[in-house]
Amino acid sequence: MVGLGSPDDAAVWRLDGGRAVVVTTDFFTPIVDDPYDYGAIAAANALSDLYAMGATPIFALNVAALPIDLPPGVVEAMIRGGAEKVREAGAVVAGGHSVQDTEPKFGLVAVGLADVDNLLTKKGLHPGQLLVLSKPLGTGVTATALKRGQAEAGDVDEAVRWMKRLNAGASRLALEFGSRGATDVTGFGLLGHAREMAEASRVRLVFYGAAVPLLRGAARYAEEGFIAGGSQDNRDYFGPSVSFDPEVGETTKRLLFDAQTSGGLLFGIDSNRLPDVLAAAVLAGVDLWPIGRVEAGSGIHVEAGGWPASAA
């Protein structure tokens, strides 16, 4: 149902008339110092691709590349962090594979089940919808500041908490309120993944720059130039598809292209259902921010202001 011909977050194979198996994989080098947090973030990041497709995780396989001199306690903490995050998702780690390497790398092959009539895909947006996001931006600049020894401990702690958070609740709400268009915001940044959705759905996406949530400290790190190479690549590649109001500042542009790790779900919701989904999110303890709208047309535009009262 979904494969190499689509820019979606996972592969989808129909099992029978009502069910589909959804499969994805992701792994990366450490972005934080604590090995347990690193394992948990890597697992949450991989599982996020299932949630972005509307799937429920059922099992996962570890994928690890490990230096031969890495202390056993570090390896144990990393794998335990991943396993406990998978268990939190209601799934199990059923095996995996490791190889020797000069730098640690860890992640998952994640497998889930979905209803074939209720998949979330990047082509599921339509004009008249509003866009909501489930996590703040800024993990890229914060992680870069950490690598350079310039990040404040409280800012790192906040970023780690968000990166370890599963997107399960946001995915359930998206499905419950009729969304069919979603993605998770990761390495291509908000605007890169938005461009993919706009092209797949054949629509124009408009974002309210001042409405996009940010991690504490993210604006300062962006202003000070803690920009990862991947974030600059995002701007170089996706930038020609994006227009900005003249009032949109350089810091905002940097953060909208910021490469995220284990970022939030971005999904469309019919405008008349926005108040209900936001109320349900409060009751469920899920954070959701309305940040934009879907229009007829093509490309991406960023307005300078915040969320307008007339948008809902």
pLDDT of residue 55: 96
At 9, the pLDDT band (50, 70, 90 cuts) reads confident
Q: In angstroms, rounded to a whole number, what is the distance separating the alpha carbons of residues 133 and 213?
A: 8
Residue that wins the pLDDT comparison between 235 and 307: 235
Token readout for 62 is: 């570890």
For residues 123, 51, 187, 9, the Cα torsion angle rounded to the nearest 10 degrees is -40
CA distances from 233 to 15, 176, 189, 301 (A): 38, 36, 10, 19
Token readout for 88 is: 């939190």
Whole-number average pLDDT of the chain: 95
SS (H, E, C) the chain: CECCCCCCCCEEEECCCCEEEEEEEEEECCCCCCHHHHHHHHHHHHHHHHHHCCCEEEEEEEEEEECCCCCHHHHHHHHHHHHHHHHHCCCEEEEEEEEECCCCEEEEEEEEEEECCCCCECCCCCCCEEEEECCCECHHHHHHHHHCCCCCHHHHHHHHHHHHCCCHHHHHHHHHCCCCEEEECCCCHHHHHHHHHHHHHCCEEEEEHHHCCECCCHHHHHHCCCCCHHHHHHHHHHHHHEEECCCCCHHHHHHHCCCCCCCCEEEEEEHHHHHHHHHHHHHHCCCCEEEEEEECCCCEEEECCCCCHHHC
The residue-averaged pLDDT of 180-191 equals: 96
First vs last Cα of the chain: how many Å apart?
A: 33
Q: Is the pLDDT of residue 310 over 80?
A: no
pLDDT of residue 312: 55
pLDDT of residue 120: 95
Angle between helices 35-52 and 72-88 (to 10 degrees): 30
For the segment 76-128, what is each residue's pLDDT rounded down to a tens digit? 999 999 999 999 999 999 999 999 999 999 999 999 999 999 999 999 999 99
Q: In angstroms, rounded to a whole number, what is the distance separating the alpha carbons of residues 187 and 168?
A: 19
Q: Which domains, from first to last, does the chain contain?
A: 11-115 (3.30.1330.10), 129-311 (3.90.650.10)
Question: For the whole prediction, is pTM greater than 0.85?
Answer: yes
